[in-house]
């Protein structure tokens, strides 16, 4: 099993601008890589870490305990960040981190059905307790048109229609390798010879759809913006263009107003009432050294916003 390496770790710690007595939230605990690094910088401060995956929580508990004691793991979906923190009597925080990559426990365990590298049931649920919709349900019950829309909307799969037609013709599909086989038989030889796994986009689209990831992300970020104390920051690490698009839209909506665009063209300085500002104009990407050492870092980009 590949050793988990947190993506853009040093950059995340730097841009969270950690204070020893601050209150911080890691919305995506995973294996605790980012969380333990944040915790190591806290003295009287507290870390709240959120995850809906019981396997991730179990693995991270011991790791965090070795680093410090001032942390609380909250079992739930980060779409409920405000209420999860309210239950802990926390209504304002100094920083919030989102690492949107699927965590290693999910990818590396065949039974979870996230990976096209292992044969397992077509599940893909991050929350196996409360979410009843599996990837198999989607593949075996959606219409051909609905499947094509999912593959195109959530992964820009150019051969969405052809793959959807092949799935409908072949189903029922019950395992990841059955789905991979259908995709490989559908795609042209020219595409199959290209770098990267031919099933990557379809698996991505299914995972996003099954877990309602985009709506969940949007709701969570909107809550997080309201939770920030003045000077507090949100750091988001994205891994594909759909996440990027939504983060850019949300951040733009709260940092750029029409009056600001007009004011910038005037020869005098006019104060604006922006409550938030972008800390970096362009997203940060991994260094060449990190790319060499961590395969999962290749599509990562980091975005940072601060409450004024």
Question: Does 19 fall in a domain?
Answer: yes
Dist. CA 32–CA 40, nearest whole Å: 12
Q: What value does the mean pLDDT take over residues 167-195?
A: 96
Dist. CA 304–CA 237, nearest whole Å: 9
Dihedral class, residue 30 (left if φ above 0, else alpha if ψ from -120 to 50, else beta): left
Which one of 210, 244, 274 terminates a domain?
A: 210
Q: Is 118 a residue whose pLDDT tops 50?
A: yes
User: Does 106 carry a binding-site annotation?
Assistant: yes
Strand order in the sheet with 93-99: 71-75, 46-51, 23-26, 93-99, 228-238, 301-307, 276-278
Which one of 155, 178, 210 terminates a domain?
A: 210
Query: Domain limits at 180?
Result: 132-210
- 189 and 68 housed in the same domain: no
Number of domains in the chain: 2
Peptide bond into 159 cis (omega under 30): no
Give pLDDT tens digits for 64-77: 999 999 999 999 99
**Mean pLDDT score of the chain:** 92
User: Does 34 carry a binding-site annotation?
Assistant: yes
Higher pLDDT, 191 or 272: 191
Which one of 185, 210, 235 terminates a domain?
A: 210
**SS3 letters across the chain:** CCCCCCCCHHHHHHHHCCCCCCEEEECCCCCCHHHHHHHHCCCCCEEEEEECCHHHHHHHHHHHHHHCCCEEEEECCHHHHHHHHHCCCCCCEEEEEEECCCCHHHHHCHHHCCCCCCCCECCCCCCCCCCCCCHHHHHHHCCHHHHHHHHHHHHCCCCHHHHHHHHHHHCCCCEHHHHHHHHHHHCCHHHHCCCCCCCHHHHHHHHHHHCCHHHHHHHHHHHHHHHEEEEEEEEEEECCHHHHHHHHHHHHHHHCCHHHHHHCCCCCCCCCCCCEEECCCCCECCCHHHHHHCHHHCCCEEEEEEEC
Q: Is 114 a residue whose pLDDT tops 60?
A: yes
Q: Is 271 a residue whose pLDDT tops 70?
A: no
**SS3 letters across 194-211:** CCCCCCHHHHHHHHHHHC
User: Does 4 carry a binding-site annotation?
Assistant: no
User: Does 33 carry a binding-site annotation?
Assistant: yes
- 13 and 84 housed in the same domain: yes
Exposed/middle/buried for 2, CB within 10 Å: 0-12, 13-18, 19+? exposed
- 82 and 221 housed in the same domain: yes
Q: Is 171 a residue whose pLDDT tops 80?
A: yes
127: confidence class by pLDDT, cuts 50, 70, 90: confident
User: What's this model's pTM, rounded to 2 decimal places?
Assistant: 0.89
Do 19 and 94 meet the contact criterion of CB atoms below 8 Å apart? Answer: yes
- 93 and 235 housed in the same domain: yes
Q: What value does the mean pLDDT take over residues 37-51?
A: 97
Question: Does 2 fall in a domain?
Answer: no
Question: Does 90 fall in a domain?
Answer: yes
Dist. CA 126–CA 206, nearest whole Å: 12
Question: Does 111 fall in a domain?
Answer: no
pLDDT for 123: 96
User: Does 32 carry a binding-site annotation?
Assistant: yes
Q: Tokens 């993506």 sit at which residue?
A: 7
pLDDT for 272: 61
């Amino acid at each position: 099993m590949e050793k988990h390496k947190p993506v853009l770790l040093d950059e995340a710690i730097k841009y969270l601008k950690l204070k020893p007595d601050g209150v911080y939230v890691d919305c995506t605990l995973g294996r605790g890589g980012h969380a333990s690094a944040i915790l190591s910088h806290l003295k009287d401060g507290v870390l709240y870490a959120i995850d809906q995956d019981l396997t991730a929580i179990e693995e991270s508990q011991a790791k965090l305990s070795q680093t410090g004691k001032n942390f609380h793991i909250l079992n739930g979906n980060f779409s409920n960040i405000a209420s999860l923190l309210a239950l802990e009597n926390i209504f304002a925080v100094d920083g919030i981190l989102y690492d949107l990559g699927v965590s290693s426990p999910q990818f590396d365990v065949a039974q979870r059905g996230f990976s096209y590298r292992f044969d397992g049931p077509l599940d893909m649920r991050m929350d196996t307790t409360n979410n009843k919709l599996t990837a198999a349900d989607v593949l075996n019950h959606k219409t051909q048109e609905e499947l094509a829309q999912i593959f195109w909307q959530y992964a820009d799969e150019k051969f969405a229609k052809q793959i959807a037609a092949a799935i409908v013709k072949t189903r029922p599909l019950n395992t990841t390798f059955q789905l991979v086989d259908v995709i490989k038989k559908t795609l042209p030889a020219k595409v199959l010879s290209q770098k990267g796994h031919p099933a990557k986009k379809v698996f991505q689209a299914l995972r996003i759809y099954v877990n309602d990831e985009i709506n969940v992300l949007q709701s969570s970020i909107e809550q997080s913006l309201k939770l920030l104390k003045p000077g507090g920051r949100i750091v988001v690490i994205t891994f594909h263009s759909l996440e990027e698009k939504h983060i850019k839209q949300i951040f733009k909506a709260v940092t750029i107003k029409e009056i600001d665009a007009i004011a910038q063209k005037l020869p005098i300085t006019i104060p604006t009432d922006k409550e938030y500002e972008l800390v970096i104009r362009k997203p940060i990407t991994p260094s060449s050294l990190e790319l060499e050492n961590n395969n999962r870092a290749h599509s990562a980009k980091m975005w940072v916003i601060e409450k004024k």
